[in-house]
């Protein structure tokens, strides 16, 4: 039986959840993503006529599109329910185009048939035979509905107030799609022609690549400086536990101790001094909880706490959002929509959250007033933060139904949501200044007096980007009870050697943080940006850090030289803002595209002429081609540098560049060669597939780079498959 109403969403899991919620009066089907897009084989954008896009039904989706059109015929109402953001709006718009075209052609068909055989009530269409549609001359109604969580109340509320497609949102998405298309279709062939076959470049991804390349150059240019600090162990004159104090001042100056010699000179001096408590500051320090999750903060925290890449986090979050079967119960969406830059919590949910905290943790642990967090500028205030759809589903109660990663992510979202409305954590901080002649030392004690929100959520260090600043010691440390004027006994003075550290390489977490801070990318694009540059072999993920490959550096440098705007962070952020303005209705999408494209296309023409032809700069080697005996040369390709026969294209022999390091497998005479798989670089044997030896790092470089973190969160200690 076909229901009168049809709901179309973009994913099968979501369709299943909604179907279970609504029962048989609605059919629910999924478009499985986009059905229409720009064509694959040509630009598909009319440069002569206001960048008019020529969308086509995606080749592989033609059969499905036809079925969907038939499915939607003779319905009373069709509800388009893709996700509540630009992408979802665009999918809805494309679906509406498809269905409306179909309705028109069906109407014409009927009209023609009616003219031919006016007496015959039957129609050719199978579905039309149920009669209802023929009796009612009314046309099918097409609605757009949105909801931020897939729960009974949210879906039913959306159906009660169906809306129409927001054309401004669609235009914003269209402008982005066209900009990306224009850049991709111009830059990729250029790279192909100038550097190597198969290379490509995109708009926002290239800026992210540049950030990573620039960071690598900073690290290379960094010169580490030695410096020393001095610490004293002290004790009350009456004895008792010892405590430590740092040398803070020499006279009015902060101590600058560049060498061991100077440190020892100071230590000699400090040994001769008498120590007395000069000042005590005793105060309460409050720590505020963080706002509930947005896409960006969820990705950052999931990386720090669970070791997940941004893409992995989004994949799991989507499963939680779209709904999971909970035992015999109906599937239900466990969290709100995961692509958001809003930290707002809807009024109803806020009420429930505060009640829950009061009941579960008591009034003391509830923040006095409702905490209202500010979303970043330009955030979609109609959106919500990422939170559990119902607090009645505690992580523990779901544990049996979720897999390990779903449970871990749900728990993280749960805890962060709770913490966001809990009372401040309070520490007592005692700072003691100690006088020793012209020297001043400082000892700090910290004790927690109220855990507040920290009972449910662990804070992550903010200093990932600035290793220079020692982490603000948050750990507890007690000092003996001291009073001003009290003499102290010096037990020991000791120096410690330090070195200034280069900035850290980006990780999934810190690049997402940076992209958001700089205004590049949006919740829907952070994870794909990283995935794209990794899959293009411009960046490799090693030990959780993002390293530019040689190929990535070359492409980035060439693009920076010839396309300074495209590679400029501020310029790209400006483009993002203009797209937001299209969505708000304060800019026309065509003018945004034109404003970008006119100067860009000039740059492309100049680069065609002037860009270095790296492709021609082949590097000779001593290797001989094992097929034709001619010398092999080094060229650039999609996987970086490789050995190619100098007689290309007559001889197409190509192979990876040997490292000069012998294979470690016993009895194998092969040599290790660099290979890549899934964005990781590793070394495999030149005798592959006969020898399957692999290693992450060449033996001679093993352990020589202390800046590599030890843990690879995505792939702990497992060599990727060769291939
Ligand atoms: Zn050859
Ligand atoms: Zn081998």
How do residues 127-157 score in pLDDT, each as one tens digit?
Answer: 444 444 444 446 789 999 999 999 999 999 9
- Kindly state the tokens that stand for 637: 């390709």
Q: Give the pLDDT mean for 72-99.
A: 94
- Picking from 233-247, 591-605, 608-622, 700-714, which range would have the lowest pLDDT averaged per residue? 700-714
Cα(535) to ligand 2 centroid in Å equals 27
Q: What pLDDT does residue 587 have?
A: 95
Average per-residue pLDDT for the chain: 88
Same domain, 218 and 281: no
How do residues 477-512 score in pLDDT, each as one tens digit?
Answer: 899 999 999 999 999 999 999 999 999 999 999 999
Q: What percent of the chain has pLDDT over 90?
A: 73
**Residue where a domain stops, chosen among 499, 520, 550:** 499
Cα(431) to ligand 1 centroid in Å equals 74
Same domain, 564 and 471: no
- For the entire predicted model, the pTM comes to 0.86
Query: What are the residues facing 411 on neighbouring strands?
Result: none
Q: What pLDDT does residue 718 have?
A: 33
Which is more confident, 714 or 191? Answer: 191
Q: What is the CATH number of the domain that holds 543?
A: 1.10.460.10
Residue 118 confidence (pLDDT) above 70: no
Cα(565) to ligand 1 centroid in Å equals 42
Q: Give the pLDDT mean for 553-559.
A: 95
Q: What pLDDT does residue 721 have?
A: 36
Q: How far apart are CA 560 and CA 565, in angstroms?
A: 8
Q: 18-44 burial, b if ≥16 CB within 10 A, otherwise e?
A: bbbbbeeebbbbbbeebbbbbeeeebb
Q: What pLDDT does residue 318 have?
A: 97
Which is more confident, 713 or 520? Answer: 520
Q: How far apart are CA 519 and CA 532, in angstroms?
A: 19
Cα(692) to ligand 2 centroid in Å equals 6
Same domain, 609 and 621: no
- Ligand minimally distant from the alpha carbon of residue 646: 1
Which is more confident, 208 or 679? Answer: 208
Is 597 in the active site? no
In a domain, 360, yes or no: yes
Q: What percent of the chain has pLDDT over 70?
A: 90
Q: How far apart are CA 249 and CA 230, in angstroms?
A: 11
In a domain, 284, yes or no: yes
Q: How many structural domains does the chain have?
A: 5
- Ligand minimally distant from the alpha carbon of residue 685: 2
- Catalytic residue, candidates 79, 337, 506, 693: 337
How do residues 67-77 score in pLDDT, each as one tens digit?
Answer: 999 999 989 99
**Residue where a domain stops, chosen among 478, 499, 520:** 499
Domain holding 576, by residue range, is 180-222+505-615
How do residues 299-329 score in pLDDT, each as one tens digit?
Answer: 999 999 999 999 999 999 999 999 988 877 6
Query: What are the residues facing 441 on neighbouring strands?
Result: 247, 434
Same domain, 697 and 608: no
In a domain, 175, yes or no: no
Res. 2 pLDDT band, cuts 50 70 90: confident
Q: Is 552 helix (H, G, I), strand (E, B) or coil?
A: helix
Residue 116 confidence (pLDDT) above 80: no
Same domain, 57 and 190: no
Q: How far apart are CA 545 and CA 395, in angstroms?
A: 30
Q: Give the pLDDT mean for 439-454.
A: 96
Q: How far apart are CA 158 and CA 147, in angstroms?
A: 6
**Residue where a domain stops, chosen among 597, 615, 633:** 615
Same domain, 107 and 65: yes
Same domain, 148 and 20: yes
Cα(132) to ligand 1 centroid in Å equals 72
Q: How far apart are CA 642 and CA 637, in angstroms?
A: 7
In a domain, 299, yes or no: no
Same domain, 467 and 573: no
Q: What pLDDT does residue 379 have?
A: 64
In a domain, 327, yes or no: yes
Same domain, 72 and 156: yes
Res. 678 pLDDT band, cuts 50 70 90: low
Q: Give the pLDDT mean for 118-125.
A: 50
Residue 717 confidence (pLDDT) above 70: no
Same domain, 140 and 22: yes
Same domain, 128 and 53: yes
Res. 719 pLDDT band, cuts 50 70 90: very low
Query: Given the structure tokens 């269905």, which residue do they identify?
Result: 99
- Ligand minimally distant from the alpha carbon of residue 623: 1
- Picking from 284-293, 298-307, 683-692, which range would have the lowest pLDDT averaged per residue? 683-692
Q: What pLDDT does residue 711 have?
A: 34
In a domain, 578, yes or no: yes
Q: Give the pLDDT mean for 634-660.
A: 87
How do residues 513-539 score in pLDDT, each as one tens digit?
Answer: 999 999 998 999 999 999 999 999 999
Which runs of E-coded beta strand occur in 517-571? Answer: 539-542, 545-548
Cα(642) to ligand 2 centroid in Å equals 19
**What are the start-end ranges of the H helices in 223-305?**
260-271, 295-301
In a domain, 199, yes or no: yes
Q: What is the CATH number of the domain that holds 276?
A: 2.70.20.10
Same domain, 607 and 623: no
In a domain, 688, yes or no: yes
């Amino acid at each position: 039986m076909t229901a009168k109403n049809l709901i179309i969403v973009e994913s099968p899991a979501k369709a299943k959840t909604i179907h279970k919620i609504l029962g048989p009066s609605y059919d629910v089907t999924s478009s499985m993503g986009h059905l229409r897009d720009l064509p694959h084989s040509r630009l598909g954008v009319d440069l002569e006529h206001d960048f008019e896009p020529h969308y086509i039904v995606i080749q592989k989706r033609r059969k499905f599109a036809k079925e969907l059109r038939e499915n939607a015929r003779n319905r009373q109402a069709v509800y388009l329910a893709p996700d509540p953001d630009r992408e979802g709006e665009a999918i809805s718009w494309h679906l509406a185009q498809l269905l409306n075209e179909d309705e028109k052609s069906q109407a014409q068909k009927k009209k023609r048939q009616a003219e031919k055989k006016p007496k015959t009530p039957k129609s050719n269409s199978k579905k039309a035979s149920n009669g209802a549609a023929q009796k009612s001359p009314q046309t099918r109604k097409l609605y757009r509905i949105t909801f931020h969580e897939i729960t009974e109340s949210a879906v039913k509320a959306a159906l009660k107030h169906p809306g129409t497609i927001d054309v401004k949102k669609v235009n914003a998405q269209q402008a982005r799609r066209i900009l990306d298309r224009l850049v991709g279709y111009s830059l990729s062939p250029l790279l192909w022609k100038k550097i190597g076959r198969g290379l490509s470049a995109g708009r926002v991804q290239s800026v992210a690549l540049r950030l990573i390349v620039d960071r690598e150059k900073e690290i290379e240019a960094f010169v580490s400086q030695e410096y020393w600090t001095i610490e004293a162990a002290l004790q009350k004159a009456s004895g008792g536990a010892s405590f430590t104090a740092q040398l803070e001042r020499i006279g009015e100056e902060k101590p600058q101790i560049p060498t061991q010699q100077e440190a020892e000179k100071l230590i000699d001096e400090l040994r001769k001094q008498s120590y007395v408590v000069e000042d005590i500051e005793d105060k309460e320090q409050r720590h505020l909880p963080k706002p509930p999750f947005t896409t960006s903060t969820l990705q950052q925290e999931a990386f720090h706490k669970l070791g997940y890449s941004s893409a992995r986090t989004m994949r799991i979050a989507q499963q939680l959002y779209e709904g999971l079967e909970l035992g015999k119960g109906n599937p239900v969406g466990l969290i709100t929509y995961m692509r958001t830059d809003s930290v707002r919590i809807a009024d109803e949910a806020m009420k429930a959250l505060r009640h829950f905290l009061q009941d579960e943790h008591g009034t003391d642990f509830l923040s006095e007033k409702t905490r209202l967090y500010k979303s970043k500028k330009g955030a979609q205030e109609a959106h919500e933060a990422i939170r559990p759809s119902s607090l009645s589903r505690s992580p523990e109660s779901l544990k049996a139904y979720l897999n390990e990663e779903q449970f871990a992510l749900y728990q993280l979202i749960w805890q962060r949501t709770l913490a966001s409305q809990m009372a401040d954590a309070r520490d007592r901080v005692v700072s003691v200044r100690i006088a020793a002649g012209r020297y001043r030392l400082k000892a700090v004690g910290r004790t927690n007096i109220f855990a507040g929100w920290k009972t449910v959520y662990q804070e992550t260090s903010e200093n990932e980007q600035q290793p220079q600043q020692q982490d603000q010691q948050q750990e507890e440390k007690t000092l003996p009870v001291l009073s001003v004027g009290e003499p102290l006994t010096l037990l020991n003075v000791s120096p410690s050697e330090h070195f200034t550290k280069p900035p850290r390489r980006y990780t999934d977490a810190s690049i997402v943080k940076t992209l958001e801070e700089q205004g590049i990318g949006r919740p829907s694009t952070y994870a794909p940006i990283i995935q794209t540059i990794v899959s293009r072999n411009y960046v490799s993920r090693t030990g959780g850090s993002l390293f530019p490959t040689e190929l990535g550096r070359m492409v980035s440098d060439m693009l920076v030289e010839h396309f300074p705007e495209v590679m400029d962070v501020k310029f790209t952020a400006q483009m993002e803002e203009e797209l937001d303005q299209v969505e708000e209705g304060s800019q026309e999408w065509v003018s945004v595209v034109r404003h970008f494209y006119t100067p860009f296309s000039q740059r492309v023409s100049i680069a065609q002429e002037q860009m270095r032809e790296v492709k021609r700069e082949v590097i000779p080697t001593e290797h001989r081609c094992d097929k034709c005996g001619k010398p092999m040369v080094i060229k650039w390709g999609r996987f970086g540098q490789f050995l190619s026969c100098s007689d290309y294209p007559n001889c197409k022999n190509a192979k990876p560049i040997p490292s000069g390091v012998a294979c470690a497998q016993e009895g194998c005479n092969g040599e290790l060669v660099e290979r890549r798989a899934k964005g990781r670089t590793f070394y495999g044997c030149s005798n592959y597939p006969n020898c399957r030896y692999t290693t992450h790092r060449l033996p001679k470089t093993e352990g020589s780079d202390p800046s590599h973190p030890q843990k690879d969160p995505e792939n702990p200690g497992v060599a990727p498959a060769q291939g």
